[in-house]
Amino acid sequence: MTQSQAAAAPTAEVSAQLAGLEGLHNQDLLGRYNQSLMGVFGTPQRVLVRGSGCTVWDADGKEYLDLLGGIAVNALGHAHPLVTSVVSSQLATLGHVSNFFTSPTQIALAEKLLGLAAAPAGSKVFFANSGTEANEAAFKLARRHGNNDAGGKRVRILALENAFHGRTMGALALTWKQSYREPFEPLPAGVEHIPAGDADALRAAVDETVAAVFIEPIQGEAGVRGYPEGYLRLARELTREAGALLIFDEVQTGIGRTGKWFASEGVLPDAMTLAKGLGGGFPIGAMITFGDEVSTLLTAGQHGTTFGGNPVAPPPRWPPCTPSNRSSCWSTCGRRAKPSAGRWPDSTSSRRSAARAC
């Protein structure tokens, strides 16, 4: 098959042929899945073979309205022409270069994110491959800040009860749920969880022994929960006074998910992590650091990743909205997804489970 034929062929057929699994239906494929894939996700509900916009099809040919969106990932739906064209044309041009080199697309996406985040001069971007890796970078940033400052006395890192930040060891230490954490202890030390949205608890906890405070601007795993008005701003004030970093995990809420680019807009953190919707289905994570001081905490050799920011992961025209057309781009999303009284109004089980952690 030539390259152009492959590009033109329907995805489901091509992938089934390549895998030697053509003609198999859900039940057979799930049997094969259980024989070959580690059971960390349990048995998947269906084998999905194709998607278009909000619709997906399973291996039995059944059609579904996709309300899960890849768990906050498929921001533009399935097989969006922009995503498929920029990813496939970039792959056909230059797919990977290692971190001994860079590419125009990597620089373009970093500049775009800094602009969208209204980041001041000196701000920087680190690209990773997932949300947990972006948070892992932020965890190391917090440690560097703690170790840098006054002889390393900032050993505490604060996270919120019910927080979800990922599954790797640092991100897991920040995550609240005991059943996720306990089998893997000991986790990196120094993390304390404080009640979410509780201004007094925040005031009591943030002092000069704290290296960083991690907050999801709206908690996802917790059941899509916001905070009382002014909570993020208070966190900003307290961390600034105490000299601690404020780190927003916008892995789930970022890139238009709440009707604006970032759910925390209006409160500038020291670092922000992104993933999920940023790649529209292509695996990518990012950490933005705000200002020169925070952006120079991690120096050459102190952090890295092979695939992060490769030429394909950050397609040059992605994300597709620009600051000038953002209002039309996200207005529908914003109308439908406005949190009220700390809780989002739409409580259908599919919306809920969509927002929960993977």
Ligand X SMILES: Cc1ncc(COP(=O)(O)O)c(C=O)c1O
Which is nearer to ligand X, 70 or 146 (by Cβ)?
A: 70
Which is nearer to ligand X, 57 or 180 (by Cβ)?
A: 180
Which is nearer to ligand X, 56 or 128 (by Cβ)?
A: 128
Q: Rounded distance, CA 170 to CA 191, Å?
A: 9
Distance of closest approach, residue 325 Cβ to ligand X, in angstroms: 27
The residues, ordered by sequence, that sit 6+ positions from 200 with a Cβ below 8 Å of its Cβ are: none
Q: Which of 164, 214, 262, 290 is catalytic?
A: 164
Active site residue 338: no
Which is nearer to ligand X, 216 or 270 (by Cβ)?
A: 216
Which is nearer to ligand X, 45 or 324 (by Cβ)?
A: 45
Distance of closest approach, residue 15 Cβ to ligand X, in angstroms: 22
Q: What's the token pair of residue 290?
A: 């705000």
Distance of closest approach, residue 130 Cβ to ligand X, in angstroms: 4
Distance of closest approach, residue 13 Cβ to ligand X, in angstroms: 29
Q: Which long-range contacts (CB under 8 A, 24 or more apart) does 66-70 make?
A: 67/348, 67/350, 67/351, 67/354, 68/350, 68/353, 68/354, 69/354, 70/276, 70/281
Q: What is the per-residue burial (b if ≥16 Cβ within 10 Å, else e) of 273-305?
A: bbbbbbbbbbbbbbbbbbbeebbebbeeeebeb
Q: Which of 112, 126, 249, 270 is catalytic?
A: 249
Which is nearer to ligand X, 220 or 314 (by Cβ)?
A: 220
Residues in touch with ligand X (CB under 6 A) = 130-132, 135, 164-166, 216, 220, 249, 251-252, 275, 357-358
**Residues facing residue 53 across a β-bridge:** 78
Distance of closest approach, residue 183 Cβ to ligand X, in angstroms: 18
Q: Which residue number places its CB atom closest to ligand X? A: 131
Active site residue 276: yes
Q: Rounded distance, CA 186 to CA 169, Å?
A: 9
Q: What's the token pair of residue 222?
A: 């917790």
Which is nearer to ligand X, 133 or 270 (by Cβ)?
A: 133
Active site residue 139: no
Distance of closest approach, residue 151 Cβ to ligand X, in angstroms: 32
Strand order in the sheet with 55-58: 48-52, 55-58, 63-65
Q: What are phi and psi of 133, to 5 degrees?
A: -70, -35
Distance of closest approach, residue 100 Cβ to ligand X, in angstroms: 26
CA distances to 82, 156, 190 from 193, in Å: 41, 10, 10
Annotated catalytic sites, by residue? 164, 249, 276
